[in-house]
A and B are shown apart, each in its own frame.
Chain A
Amino acid sequence: MYRFSVTICFIFASLVIVLFTLIISDNSFKPATDQAAVLVQDLTAIRIWIVVAALALYSWKSATKQPRGQFLAVVTAVAWIMFLEDYMVLDGVLIVASQPLAQLVILTRPIFLVALTYVAFKQWEVDLI
């Protein structure tokens, strides 16, 4: 179950990276308003680096068998905060297009959050033992 959840997290992160790369490079992603256009640029520019950094750090910590409960707790908290911000403020921004990939990311996001939370709790248990 732990590995399955980790796999879900990796797949979601990959989808997000691909989506954000498309948003930056492809003009077909048109936000609804000018305000949304500004926000989506800002958010994608920052968040893509957060996702990449989190993936790289997790992989490095896993490979070197370092404790990563604290790291996962931080990543989980930030992921939930991003979700809250998107849901309450930026829903008209991130739900930018009827692109299948964007819809896939939106649909799989709750699954990712649950999986990430599970991984964080499980890892915390492992680190304590």
Chain B
Amino acid sequence: MSKHSNKDPTQPSQEELDALLGSTSLFSFQSVRASLDRRSLLFKRTYIVLMAVTLLYVMGWFTGLVKPYMVFAITGLEADYQLHQIRFLLAFIMITIGTIALNFDWHVEETFSTMAWIQVYFIISGVGRQWRTMSEDNLAVIVIYVCNLLLILSLLVILIIEERRLKSTAS
């Protein structure tokens, strides 16, 4: 008799348990590359651009190249610097969550949609604050700030649209 066999008909066998666990999406770990390969070329390229923008930003930040263009460099408010740091950290957390969602292929569209709406909140609250605080001489800084955030938002929107397209063609 096999050691995996089960005499009790009410208890699931080991094979049944394996089949149940295998079908659960939580355990369907795959690499990001495999997940990207299943998607369109546009999705893949957009995701790579998003990662590249993040990487460039980190490099620019730690080398000090982007600091003169930051809002706190002009307003001189400590709160602006702290807000920037928090939002920077949150953006990294969101990218990590997005990558995990891709890894597990789990609610990718919903994850990126949530990230996009949070980005909208960052844009509205950031621009609203600067509009009231900054002088007209520093309008260029607001424009650069908005362009940066809109670039990231548009990348996220492309990812959402492509994921939705993949879902609709799969179903």
Contact = CB atoms under 8 A, between A and B. Distances in A.
Interface of A: 35, 38-39, 41-43, 45-47, 50, 70, 73-74, 77-78, 81, 84-85, 88-90, 93
26 contacts: A38-B77, A38-B133, A39-B77, A42-B128, A46-B124, A46-B125, A46-B128, A46-B129, A70-B110, A70-B114, A73-B110, A73-B114, A74-B113, A74-B118, A77-B117, A78-B117, A78-B118, A81-B90, A81-B121, A84-B86, A85-B83, A88-B82, A89-B83, A89-B86, A90-B79, A93-B79
Contact of B113 (A38, A70, A89): A70
Q: How large is the interface on B (under 10, 10 to 19, 20 to 34, 35 or more residues)?
A: 10 to 19
Nearest to A84: B86
Contacts of A78: 117-118, 121
B7 interface: no
B110 A89 contact: no
Contact of A77 (B83, B114, B124): B114
B124 to A, nearest CB: 6
